[in-house]
Structure 1
Amino acid sequence: MFIHSALLALGATLAAAVQPLEVQGAYFVNPKTGNRFQVVGVAYQPGGSAGYNEEKKVDPLSNPDICLRDAALLQILGVNAIRVYNLNPNLNHDACASIFNAAGMYMILDVNSPLVGESLTSDKPWESYYAAYLNRTFAVVEAFKDYPNTLAFFSGNEVINEVSNGATVPPYMRAVTRDLKNYVKNHVSRPIPVGYSAADVRDVLFDTYNYFQCSLEGDDDNMSKVDIFALNSYSWCGESSFETSTFDDLVSGFTGTSVPVFFSEYGCNTPSPRVFTEVGTIYGSQMTGVFSGGIVYEYTQESNNYGLVEMNEDGTAKLRGDFETLQAQYAKLNFTEIQSQKPPTGETPKPPACSPSLITTKGFNNNFTIPVPPPGAEEIIKNGVSPKPSGKLIEISDWTVKYEVRNSNGNVITNLAVKPLADDAINEPGTNTEAGTGTGTSTGSSASSTPSKDAAPRTGAVVLPAMAMGALAVMAAI
C-alpha cells in the first residue's frame, strides 16, 4: 500500500492520538501536561437496546463503517468522549476503538448489560452476585484494557434509584467495584478507574455518593471505594439557571469530593427542541472547580426523543436540530482554556472514614460490611478470565465516511471524514472543519447512500503529510 510504504520510508511512528489519563484526587489529569481533563461527551448507543444483540453478534462498537460515520460527526460536534452502555466482550472492537482514538475521543464503558445474568439487580442483589456474572464484567475489562482511549469503567448504572433498594444494594455494589478494581490491578498494565453512574434522585443521591466514596478501615487500599462518581441528571430544563436547576445544590453537595465527579448523562428534553443552555454553566467557573464536565444524552434518536442524529437501517443519517444547537453552545466556549486548567495546589481532599453518620436518609443502608467474593470469583481475579478477549489499535487505511449524511435542512454534508489527530491530541470544537456545510444537493465523491468498498478515499496529498507527522492515531496491524 502506497501510504504505508511512504510511512516506512519516512521512518514515521504510528502513535496513539490520546494520552491515557489518570485520576489524581478529585480530577482527571493528563500526566504529560499536568492539566485537568473536562469530559465533553455524548452517550453512544446506536440502535438503542437493539444495538446490542448477542445472537446477531453486534454491539455499538462492532461495525467499523458505522463507527467511522459517527466518529466524524462527533468530531465535528466537538466532543472528546463517548459513553457506551452495552458491549459484547467476545466481539472484535479494534477498528472502532482505533477510529475513536484517532478522532481524539475517550471511551467510558459500562461493564453490564440488560440481559439476565449480566448485571447486578436492584431486587435481591445477592441473587445476581455470582462468579459467572463477575466473569463477564472482567471480560469487558480484558476486551478494552489495551486501548489507550479507554478512560473508565462503570460498575453499575442507576442500580439504586429509591430508598427501598438503597437499603440492600450498596454493599453489593461496593463488592462489584472492589472485584473489578482488583481485576484491573492484577491484569491491566495501567490504572483504569472504576466508578458508579448514579440516578439524580435527591432522596438517595448523596447517601449513595457517601457510601461509595468513603474509606473503609481495613480495606486493602480501599479497593471497594469508587475511583470516580457520576450522575445522570435532568434537572436543568430549557432556559434555566444555576439556581433554578438546583445545580447549585449539586455543587454544594459535592464540594470537597475526593474523587472526580461528572455528569454521566444530562440534557432534559422538555421543552423541546432543546437549547442546551446548561453547557456554558457546566464548563464555567461556577462548576469546574467541583465537576469534571458531562455527557449529553444521547447520540441516536430513539422513541424517547433525546437523539442528536436520526439513523436509518441502510446506514444513512440526518442531523437533528438538537445536534446543531449543541454544536453552537460548545462553539461559544474556549475549550483550549478550559482543558488547560491545573488542579489546585495544596493537600488533596481525603475521603471520609465510612461511618453510619454519613448516611442521612432513614432506610438507606448504613452498614459497611462488604460481601466477600462469591465462590470461584477469587480464582478468576487471580488467574484471569478464560477464554480471554483482547484488543489492540490497528491501522485504518481510509477515513472517508461511506454513508450519506444530511444536515437538519435535508442537504447532504459533503467531504465527511474523520480527521486523524496528532499524537496525544484530544478533540475539541473546531478540530474537524473539513466537511462541507451541507448546502449542496449532491453527495460528492466522498459519500454514498449505501456502504461501498469503492468509496473514494481521501487523496494522498491530504492524508500523507498528517500521517508522516505522526497524526495517524493507530498502530500497524501486520
Structure 2
Amino acid sequence: MLSLISILGFACALAARVAALNPVVVHEQEFSDSVTNDRFVIIGIDYQPGGQGAYGTGSGDPLSNGTTCLRDAALMQQLGVNTIRCYNVDPSLDHNDCVSIFDSVGIYILIDVNAPVPGLSIDRSNPSSSYTTSYLQHIFTVVEAFKSFPNTLGFFAGNEIINDVATGQANPPYIRAVQRDLKNYIAAHAPRTIPVGYSAADVQEVLQDTWAYLQCKNSNGTNDASRSDFFGLNSYSWCGSHSSYTISGYSTLVETFSNTTIPIFLSEYGCNDPAPRVFDEVTTLYGPQMTTLSGGLVYQYTQDSSNYGLVQTYGNGTAQLLGDYDTLMGQYDKIDVSLLASSNSTATSLQPPQCNADLISSDGFSTDFNIPNPPNGVDQLIKSGVPNAPTGSIVSVTRTSVQVAVYATNGARLSGLEIQAVSTANSPGQSRSGLSTGAVASATASSSADTSSTSAGGSGSASSTGAAASAKASSGAYRFGAGFAGAAVVIGAGAFAL
C-alpha cells in the first residue's frame, strides 16, 4: 500500500507535469496537426499591446508579462481564437509564462523576427545594406527564444517589405535569402521543423508576383530553403455590410491562389471604415467558397489611435471590452468548425513550379532568382549557434483566474474570468464559462487608469488608416454563453494546480 508521502509525491509530480499542443506542420497548401493530421485553419488576432513605439522601452514585448497574458488569453479563449501574431518581441526577455499560458488555452503563436529599429530589419529602400551578420544574429536569437515552444506556429521573415513595383525590384532576392538563413538555422538548432514565411501588402500590382516569386522552387532538389513555407496577406478590402465575396475581391484571391503550393492566409484583416465593424467577411473566409485559404488574423486585439481594437487596455492592467469584441464573437460562433478540419481535396500532390522569369507578370518586378550569399561569418554562426542564447520552454501554469479587473462594453465588471485547460487548438464555443456581470454596472476602467495609445503592427503596416470605430454598448448584464463544464484539471494542454 502506498504511503501518504508517496501519494502526495505522486500528486506533486502530476501537478508539475506539462503537456502541450501538438506542433503544426505544412503539408502543401495546408497547415495540419502533426499528430492527428487534421487540417489547421487560423482563427486569429494580431496581438501587440503597446505597439511598435514601445519596443525597447521594457514594456513593448507582448509575451513577457504573465499577468497581462493571462488576462488576454482568457478573453481570447472565450472569443474562440486559436492563433495570435506578435510583431515585435525582445528575445532577451523571459517568455515562458506567457507562451505556456497561451499553449494551455489552445492558442498558437506566429512571431515576426524583425524589430522596428534600424539594423534589426530589412530596409526596403536599400536591402543589401541591411542584410548584415548582426541583423541575422538578431533574428536567429528570436528563433532561439521561441524554437522550443510547441505552439510556435511559424516565423515571419518580413512584413510588407515589397509595397509597390519599385520595391519589387531589389527586395525579393533578399527576402528569400533571409528565409533560407532562418530555415538553415532552425534545421541546425531547433528540435523540430518550424515554418518560415512572409506577410505581404495587398497591393494588386505586385501581389501575385510576390507570391509567385516566393513560392516557386529555386533548385533541382526537393529542399529549397529559400522558398516560403507560407504566405500571409494584409488585406482590408472587405469593408462593411455592403461588401461581398465579389465586391471585396475575395473571389479574385481564391482564383489567384487556386494552385498555391503553400498555405495562404490573411495575416491582417478587418476594415474599420465604415465603423463600427460588422465582420461579415468572417463567415465567408471560413466558408466553403474559401477553403483554398487557411483563415486569417483580425487586426487587432488592443485599441489604439487607429481604432482597430477589440479591447481597450489601461496602464494599471485593467481592460474593457469594446463593441467589436462582441460583434466578432457573434460572427465566430457561426463558423462550421467541422468544415475547417477537413482537408481540401484539391490540395493533394501539388508541386511548386520551377522558378523562372515566366512566372512574373509585372514589368519592373524582379526576375532575378540568384539569391545573395550569407554575409561573412553567418555560415559559422549557423553551424555554432548564437552564443548564450536565451531558450524558452513550456512551464507549469498554476494560476488560472485573471488577477486584474476586466469590464464589459456596458461598463460592468466581469466576474469569474479564468482560463480553462484544453488539449487541442481552441475554437469558437469550445471553452465558454458562465462568465457574467452583476446586475449593477460598476465604474468603467477608464475612470482610474491611463490608456495605451501607441500603434501596433510591423514596419510599413497597411493598418494605419481608417475611420474612428465606435464601441457598441450592450444593455443589461454582459454574459458569455454557457459551455465549459467542470473545473480546471491537472493533465491537459497545460498543468494546472488543483
Query: Normalising by the residue count of structure 1, what TM-score does the alignment of the two structures yield?
Result: 0.90
**Contact 1:52–1:58 (CA<8 Å) still a contact in 2?**
yes
Aligned to 1:123: 125
Aligned to 1:63: 65
Aligned to 2:469: none
Distance 1:167 1:10, change over 3 A: closer
Aligned to 1:48: 51
Question: Which of these residues, 247, 255, 266, is aligned with residue 244 of structure 1?
Answer: 247
**Contact 2:81–2:107 (CA<8 Å) still a contact in 1?**
yes
1:158 aligns with 2:160: yes
Aligned to 1:374: 375
Aligned to 1:459: none
Aligned to 1:426: 425
Task: Spell out the pairing of 1:265-284 with structure 2 (5 A cutoff).
Answer: 265-284=268-287
Task: Spell out the pairing of 1:274-423 with structure 2 (5 A cutoff).
Answer: 274-288=277-291, 290-335=292-337, 337-344=338-345, 347-421=348-422, 423=423
Q: After superposing the two structures, state which structure 1 stretch, 10-19 or 137-146, moved more.
A: 10-19
1:33 aligns with 2:36: yes
Q: Aligned-pair distance for 1:398?
A: 1.3
Amino acid at match of 2:380: E
Amino acid at match of 1:376: G
Task: Spell out the pairing of 1:4-153 with structure 2 (5 A cutoff).
Answer: 5=8, 8=11, 14-53=17-56, 55-56=57-58, 58-153=60-155
Alpha-carbon deviations, 1:295-347, whole Å to 9, x = none? 00000001111000001101111111000000000011232x13421342784
Amino acid at match of 1:251: V
**Contact 1:35–1:339 (CA<8 Å) still a contact in 2?**
no
Task: Spell out the pairing of 1:457-468 with structure 2 (5 A cutoff).
Answer: 466-468=488-490
User: How far apart are the structure 1 equivalents of 2:305 and 2:61?
Assistant: 19
Q: Aligned-pair distance for 1:32?
A: 2.2
Distance 1:221 1:472, change over 3 A: closer
Residue ranges of structure 1 left out of the alignment (5+ in a row) = 444-448, 451-461
Question: Which of these residues, 171, 187, 190, is aligned with residue 188 of structure 1?
Answer: 190
Distance 1:61 1:9, change over 3 A: closer
Question: Which of these residues, 215, 223, 226, is aligned with residue 225 of structure 2?
Answer: 223
Question: Which of these residues, 471, 475, 478, is aligned with residue 492 of structure 2?
Answer: 471
Secondary structure at the aligned position of 1:184 is classed as helix
Aligned to 2:262: 259
User: How far apart are the structure 2 equivalents of 1:390 and 1:116?
Assistant: 25
**Contact 1:308–1:320 (CA<8 Å) still a contact in 2?**
yes
Distance 1:191 1:307, change over 3 A: same
Alpha-carbon deviations, 1:332-367, whole Å to 9, x = none? 1232x1342134278421111101111111111111
Q: Aligned-pair distance for 1:218?
A: 4.7
Secondary structure at the aligned position of 2:290 is classed as coil
Aligned to 1:205: 207
User: How far apart are the structure 2 equivalents of 1:325 and 1:63?
Assistant: 28
Amino acid at match of 2:219: E
- Percent identity between matched residues is 45
1:436 aligns with 2:439: no
Q: Aligned-pair distance for 1:105?
A: 0.1
How many residues matched?
Answer: 452
User: How far apart are the structure 1 equivalents of 2:495 and 2:108?
Assistant: 14
Q: Aligned-pair distance for 1:6?
A: 7.6
User: How far apart are the structure 2 equivalents of 1:339 and 1:7?
Assistant: 39
Secondary structure at the aligned position of 2:419 is classed as coil
Alpha-carbon deviations, 1:22-73, whole Å to 9, x = none? 11111101132221111000000011124432x4265111100000000001
**Contact 1:98–1:474 (CA<8 Å) still a contact in 2?**
no
Q: Aligned-pair distance for 1:14?
A: 2.7
User: How far apart are the structure 1 equivalents of 2:386 and 2:265?
Assistant: 31
Q: After superposing the two structures, state which structure 1 stretch, 380-389 or 306-315, moved more.
A: 380-389
User: How far apart are the structure 2 equivalents of 1:90 and 1:5?
Assistant: 37
Query: Normalising by the residue count of structure 2, what TM-score does the alignment of the two structures yield?
Result: 0.86
Q: Aligned-pair distance for 1:213?
A: 0.5
Secondary structure at the aligned position of 1:298 is classed as coil
User: How far apart are the structure 2 equivalents of 1:362 and 1:346?
Assistant: 31
Amino acid at match of 1:342: S
Amino acid at match of 1:280: T
Amino acid at match of 1:387: N
User: How far apart are the structure 1 equivalents of 2:441 and 2:238?
Assistant: 39
Alpha-carbon deviations, 1:121-155, whole Å to 9, x = none? 11110000011000010101110011110000000
